[in-house]
Amino acid sequence: MASSSSTRPPPTKVSRSASCLCGAVAITITGVDKGAVLCHCSNCQKSSGSSFAHNYRFLDADLTFDKGEDAVTRYEDGNTTNGNVLARHFCKVCGSNVYLQPCTPPRMFILHTGGMQDKTQPARELFTQNKHPWVGDVTPIKAKV
Protein backbone atom coordinates (compact mmCIF):
# COMPACT_ATOMS: atom_id res chain seq x y z
CA MET A 1 0.00 0.00 0.00
CA ALA A 2 1.43 3.38 -1.00
CA SER A 3 1.74 6.00 1.67
CA SER A 4 -0.02 9.29 1.21
CA SER A 5 1.93 12.50 1.37
CA SER A 6 1.06 14.85 4.19
CA THR A 7 2.85 17.81 2.64
CA ARG A 8 0.81 20.89 1.95
CA PRO A 9 0.76 22.57 -1.43
CA PRO A 10 2.78 25.76 -1.61
CA PRO A 11 0.82 28.82 -0.47
CA THR A 12 -0.95 30.74 -3.18
CA LYS A 13 0.30 34.23 -3.88
CA VAL A 14 -2.23 37.05 -4.22
CA SER A 15 -1.93 40.59 -5.54
CA ARG A 16 -3.49 43.75 -4.16
CA SER A 17 -3.23 47.27 -5.54
CA ALA A 18 -3.34 50.57 -3.71
CA SER A 19 -2.86 54.27 -4.29
CA CYS A 20 -2.42 57.39 -2.20
CA LEU A 21 -5.01 60.12 -1.70
CA CYS A 22 -3.75 62.39 -4.49
CA GLY A 23 -3.07 59.54 -6.93
CA ALA A 24 0.64 60.33 -7.33
CA VAL A 25 1.56 56.84 -6.03
CA ALA A 26 0.10 53.54 -7.21
CA ILE A 27 1.55 50.17 -6.18
CA THR A 28 0.85 46.46 -6.48
CA ILE A 29 2.04 43.98 -3.87
CA THR A 30 2.14 40.25 -4.65
CA GLY A 31 2.82 37.73 -1.93
CA VAL A 32 1.49 35.06 0.37
CA ASP A 33 -1.79 36.23 1.89
CA LYS A 34 -1.48 36.73 5.67
CA GLY A 35 -4.79 38.59 5.85
CA ALA A 36 -5.97 41.89 7.18
CA VAL A 37 -5.57 43.04 10.77
CA LEU A 38 -6.38 46.00 12.94
CA CYS A 39 -3.18 47.15 14.62
CA HIS A 40 -3.64 49.07 17.87
CA CYS A 41 0.09 49.65 18.57
CA SER A 42 0.86 53.20 19.61
CA ASN A 43 3.03 53.75 16.51
CA CYS A 44 0.20 52.78 14.14
CA GLN A 45 -2.16 55.00 16.13
CA LYS A 46 0.22 57.95 15.73
CA SER A 47 1.08 57.20 12.11
CA SER A 48 -2.55 56.79 11.05
CA GLY A 49 -3.82 59.66 13.19
CA SER A 50 -6.52 57.29 14.38
CA SER A 51 -7.26 54.65 17.01
CA PHE A 52 -5.77 51.84 14.91
CA ALA A 53 -4.40 51.04 11.47
CA HIS A 54 -6.22 48.65 9.14
CA ASN A 55 -3.38 46.72 7.48
CA TYR A 56 -3.14 43.89 4.96
CA ARG A 57 -0.09 41.64 5.37
CA PHE A 58 1.93 39.74 2.76
CA LEU A 59 4.83 37.32 3.29
CA ASP A 60 7.45 36.36 0.70
CA ALA A 61 6.26 39.45 -1.14
CA ASP A 62 7.29 41.71 -3.96
CA LEU A 63 6.26 45.30 -4.60
CA THR A 64 5.80 46.93 -8.00
CA PHE A 65 5.36 50.65 -8.48
CA ASP A 66 2.68 51.25 -11.08
CA LYS A 67 3.53 54.95 -10.80
CA GLY A 68 5.09 57.47 -8.46
CA GLU A 69 8.13 55.70 -7.00
CA ASP A 70 9.84 59.10 -6.82
CA ALA A 71 6.87 60.49 -4.84
CA VAL A 72 7.42 58.05 -1.97
CA THR A 73 9.49 58.87 1.07
CA ARG A 74 10.33 56.66 4.01
CA TYR A 75 10.58 56.98 7.76
CA GLU A 76 12.51 54.30 9.67
CA ASP A 77 10.53 53.64 12.85
CA GLY A 78 12.87 52.09 15.40
CA ASN A 79 10.59 52.74 18.36
CA THR A 80 8.66 49.49 17.92
CA THR A 81 7.55 47.08 20.63
CA ASN A 82 9.98 44.35 19.53
CA GLY A 83 12.80 46.80 18.71
CA ASN A 84 12.90 45.86 15.01
CA VAL A 85 13.02 48.77 12.59
CA LEU A 86 9.90 49.20 10.47
CA ALA A 87 10.13 51.35 7.33
CA ARG A 88 6.95 53.39 6.91
CA HIS A 89 6.47 54.60 3.33
CA PHE A 90 4.22 57.51 2.49
CA CYS A 91 3.45 59.93 -0.33
CA LYS A 92 5.56 63.11 -0.32
CA VAL A 93 2.77 65.00 -2.08
CA CYS A 94 -0.33 64.27 0.06
CA GLY A 95 1.17 62.51 3.10
CA SER A 96 -0.90 59.32 2.73
CA ASN A 97 0.51 56.20 4.36
CA VAL A 98 1.05 53.70 1.57
CA TYR A 99 2.90 50.65 2.96
CA LEU A 100 5.23 49.38 5.66
CA GLN A 101 8.14 46.98 5.44
CA PRO A 102 10.28 45.45 8.19
CA CYS A 103 13.95 46.25 7.61
CA THR A 104 14.94 42.67 8.46
CA PRO A 105 13.85 39.43 6.73
CA PRO A 106 11.47 37.83 5.86
CA ARG A 107 10.36 39.72 2.75
CA MET A 108 7.14 41.08 4.18
CA PHE A 109 5.01 44.02 3.12
CA ILE A 110 2.15 45.59 5.04
CA LEU A 111 -0.32 47.54 2.93
CA HIS A 112 -2.56 50.20 4.45
CA THR A 113 -6.02 49.08 3.37
CA GLY A 114 -7.39 52.62 3.08
CA GLY A 115 -5.62 52.93 -0.26
CA MET A 116 -6.61 49.48 -1.54
CA GLN A 117 -9.08 49.07 -4.38
CA ASP A 118 -10.55 45.94 -2.73
CA LYS A 119 -11.25 46.44 0.98
CA THR A 120 -10.75 43.36 3.17
CA GLN A 121 -12.37 42.65 6.50
CA PRO A 122 -9.79 42.16 9.25
CA ALA A 123 -9.55 38.70 10.79
CA ARG A 124 -7.43 39.65 13.82
CA GLU A 125 -6.44 42.53 16.06
CA LEU A 126 -2.88 43.18 17.18
CA PHE A 127 -1.63 45.01 20.30
CA THR A 128 -5.07 44.96 21.88
CA GLN A 129 -3.53 46.12 25.16
CA ASN A 130 -3.44 49.57 23.47
CA LYS A 131 -6.98 49.34 22.11
CA HIS A 132 -9.17 52.18 23.27
CA PRO A 133 -12.01 50.71 25.36
CA TRP A 134 -14.65 52.60 23.40
CA VAL A 135 -13.62 51.29 19.95
CA GLY A 136 -16.65 49.47 18.54
CA ASP A 137 -19.03 50.87 21.15
CA VAL A 138 -20.21 54.02 19.42
CA THR A 139 -23.48 54.61 17.60
CA PRO A 140 -22.94 54.92 13.86
CA ILE A 141 -24.31 57.98 12.08
CA LYS A 142 -24.76 58.53 8.39
CA ALA A 143 -22.23 61.19 7.41
CA LYS A 144 -22.93 63.69 4.66
CA VAL A 145 -19.89 64.47 2.56
Domain spans, the chain: 13-126
Residue 29: predicted pLDDT: 94
pLDDT digits (tens, 9 = 90+) for 8-52: 777 789 999 999 999 999 999 999 999 999 999 999 999 999 999
Residue 8: predicted pLDDT: 76
Confidence band for 138, pLDDT divided at 50, 70 and 90: low
pLDDT digits (tens, 9 = 90+) for 65-118: 999 999 999 999 988 888 889 999 999 999 999 999 999 888 899 999 888 877
pLDDT(145) > 80:
no
Residue 110: predicted pLDDT: 93
Cis status of the peptide bond prior to 106, with omega within 30 of 0? yes
So what CATH class is 13-126?
Answer: mainly beta
- Gap between the terminal Cα atoms of the chain: 68
Residue 6: predicted pLDDT: 63
Residue 10: predicted pLDDT: 75
Give DSSP secondary structure letters for the chain: -PPPP-PPPPPPEEEEEEE-SSSS-EEEEEEEEEEEEEE--HHHHHHHTSS-EEEEEEEEEEEEEEE-GGGEEEEEE---TT---EEEEEETTT--EEEEEESSSS--EEEEGGGBSS-----EEE-GGG--TTTT-S-------
Closest CA to 110 of 50, 44, 51: 44
Distance CA 51, CA 141 (A): 18
Average pLDDT over all residues of the chain: 88
pLDDT digits (tens, 9 = 90+) for 89-100: 999 999 999 999
pLDDT(131) > 80:
yes
Q: Is 60 left (phi over 0), alpha (psi -120 to 50) or beta?
A: left
